[in-house]
Structure 1
């Protein structure tokens, strides 16, 4: 009975020193704080745009279409922008990208308010999504410059996962308060300012900027991302997106069927809170075994918990299982980032982290569509069964990653090795 309290106290007692030590590394606070500000903006931008466009047009259909175009464009074009950043550097690309993003969002809101033709509005939404910076990937790439040991990197990437959890817990609440209490446009304005301010400050921190890619190898920029190791990690994050895309819909449907719809937000928040706590615990301690082994174990736990929710016919049991599944989320994200840092050459980290985000976004979109259709045809039980099948891809992908690492002897390729192989 004393194990759990001790684990929960760990990050705030001796474990706290791990986070303090990485934040005291030269240059870390100077890029981490701006990236946190920018990520809070990113966590709010989707919902704030939905609020704003619906208020301007009076149509949730238009608002949903605009938000969808924004998200798809962000996921598809984001890795290409990251590729450009890897080639030219964050400091050279970010200021112009931020200016484009501000112009795009301003034109989008103007077009929505003046009832411009729908195709024009959607093009502007896609432009806004394509020009949105990815501060999480930018920050993750910089940790590879600052942190010298695997332990420091694990702690840093755990902290990154925790920040994401906090952002997506607090962000939607803050957007709702701003949009309802002040003005419908207040949320999107605040989110845009956060993204722009954070990324502008980030672009000025040249001392922790990752090395840029030699443009002489520009024609082969993406080949290093086709390795089996990276593809396995891409699959892990795609299937983690299945969890994020299916669980909110199934929990909402289950709550409605059980006549406790008012508890839906609490059920979902519990998953995020437990993920936050597990991220703090994971980053504060040294764990036995390789990162690949950790990834397999936590992925299996995630799949098992969703499976328990699928076979349970009680809302309480399903909710507890899904909340418990949150304990695997932050460790999966942190370990994936650590393995990417080991696998991908330093001058291609930004695009690799962005591809991981895009894979997760694709998983969310695909799972939401499939599980939503399953719920319409057979209720939440059908939704949970399909969600369990989809999420089972997470441990399968993690096992593939571990097997690939074992075959490679867990020796990452350097940029020089890759160039030689491609030549």
Structure 2
């Protein structure tokens, strides 16, 4: 029986994909809503922006840095046994956070402890969904399109999540957004683990305790590429705000960043729709170099419209870089370590984003903005150049040698 023609429609028509993908998106919508709602709830309850910022940073650190450990539990025990306890703990702790911050006067230490505990239990629904895509779609071209669709959808969730919280604020307080996030993640997780794909994943048997992903060298390079991409985007957010404020149009920053998201969505869908002849490991440095060059060029924009166009151009490379990184991690990891490999890519991206924001925050008032843009682009360009060099060296090592005559080589 022939495989369906590779397209996004074929991805969604494959058996069980609609159910699994819908459940994963429902649960992951919580991750777009909770941070914003939590920041507002903590600020209202404590009356302190520093406390709210600190609590949100601790939540992010616990969620991001422990993601590979939680993914390892999924690899070890399977999604049906590992995910429900995480989701139940995460949802329960979010409900406690909502209850604690319902009225003014919440104790900062108690609130912070609950928030950090919730971050530590965040279910790795994104890495799990990317692992399940391979089971659902063994065809390589369909899998690439599925990863592109997944990356774009995830980005849109993080854009729409705060908007939904804003709608909730018109009828209830920010704690309603935290509570809604708890309901979404629990419902989505339970729907996902009840799917046939999750049952099949559990039947493959557990990974050996302490097993590590294979392809370590390639995986490290992919993680580095993901980290430098996150760094560039984390820095870009702040640089766009500074650029708009310099021109007395601070409100324009939101539209410029929306252009980045739009460009990323278009680039991700286009990247998935094209039948590439080059392998993923060859495309990644080219895509990363495109992102770095576009970002460096954006620093030379003379006005807001040109900056918007340049940022949208940079956005065209964002989803393709992230998608390709996930694909390479999936290809190089051992079968029972793929969830953790994907989690490392995700962790590197988020950690790089936080580091980029923090670093450029120290430099943006001290250096000219064009130089800040160039510095933010530099790690991505260096990472791309290093990956391209290793690719050339690898191709040289694998190239067949021309036989030569001599005393030790027969004709």
- TM-score, with length taken from structure 2: 0.88
1:241 aligns with 2:234: no
Of 46, 68, 83, 2:35 maps to: 46
Of 265, 278, 285, 1:289 maps to: 278
1:106 aligns with 2:127: no
After superposition, give the CA deviation of every residue in 1:356-404 in whole Å (9 maximum; x if it has no partner). 1111111011111100110132353443232122332442464367458
1:94 aligns with 2:87: no
Measure, in 2, the Cα distance between the counterparts of 1:404 and 1:89: 38
Larger mean Cα displacement after TM superposition, 210-219 or 105-114: 210-219
Q: Secondary structure at the match of 1:247?
A: helix
Q: How does 1:4-403 map to 2 (within 5 A)?
A: 18-112=7-101, 113=103, 115=105, 117-208=107-198, 209-210=200-201, 217-219=208-210, 221-222=211-212, 224=213, 227-378=216-367, 380-396=369-385, 398-399=387-388, 402=391
After superposition, give the CA deviation of every residue in 1:52-95 in whole Å (9 maximum; x if it has no partner). 11122222111111111100000111111110111101101111
- The structure having more radius of gyration, on CA atoms, is 2
Query: Using a 3 Å threshold, how does the CA distance of structure 1 residues 212 and 407 change in structure 2: closer, same or farther?
Result: farther
Measure, in 2, the Cα distance between the counterparts of 1:403 and 1:202: 42
Query: Using a 3 Å threshold, how does the CA distance of structure 1 residues 16 and 135 change in structure 2: closer, same or farther?
Result: farther
Contact 1:179–1:185, Cα closer than 8 Å, also in 2:
no
Unmatched tracts of structure 2, length 5 or more: 399-411
Query: Using a 3 Å threshold, how does the CA distance of structure 1 residues 181 and 261 change in structure 2: closer, same or farther?
Result: farther
**Is the helix fraction higher in 1 or 2?**
1
Q: Secondary structure at the match of 1:218?
A: coil
Q: CA RMSD in A?
A: 2.4
Contact 1:232–1:401, Cα closer than 8 Å, also in 2:
no
Contact 1:211–1:346, Cα closer than 8 Å, also in 2:
no
Measure, in 2, the Cα distance between the counterparts of 1:379 and 1:325: 20
Unmatched tracts of structure 1, length 5 or more: 1-14, 410-423
Query: Using a 3 Å threshold, how does the CA distance of structure 1 residues 149 and 404 change in structure 2: closer, same or farther?
Result: farther
Contact 1:253–1:379, Cα closer than 8 Å, also in 2:
no
Measure, in 2, the Cα distance between the counterparts of 1:177 and 1:382: 39
Contact 1:154–1:338, Cα closer than 8 Å, also in 2:
yes
Determine the structure 2 residue equivalent to 1:11.
none
Measure, in 1, the Cα distance between the counterparts of 2:396 and 2:185: 41
Query: Using a 3 Å threshold, how does the CA distance of structure 1 residues 184 and 118 change in structure 2: closer, same or farther?
Result: closer
Question: How far did 1:312 drift?
Answer: 3.8
Query: Using a 3 Å threshold, how does the CA distance of structure 1 residues 328 and 311 change in structure 2: closer, same or farther?
Result: same
Number of equivalences: 393
Measure, in 2, the Cα distance between the counterparts of 1:119 and 1:324: 44
Q: Secondary structure at the match of 2:364?
A: helix
Query: Using a 3 Å threshold, how does the CA distance of structure 1 residues 395 and 211 change in structure 2: closer, same or farther?
Result: farther
Q: Secondary structure at the match of 1:259?
A: coil
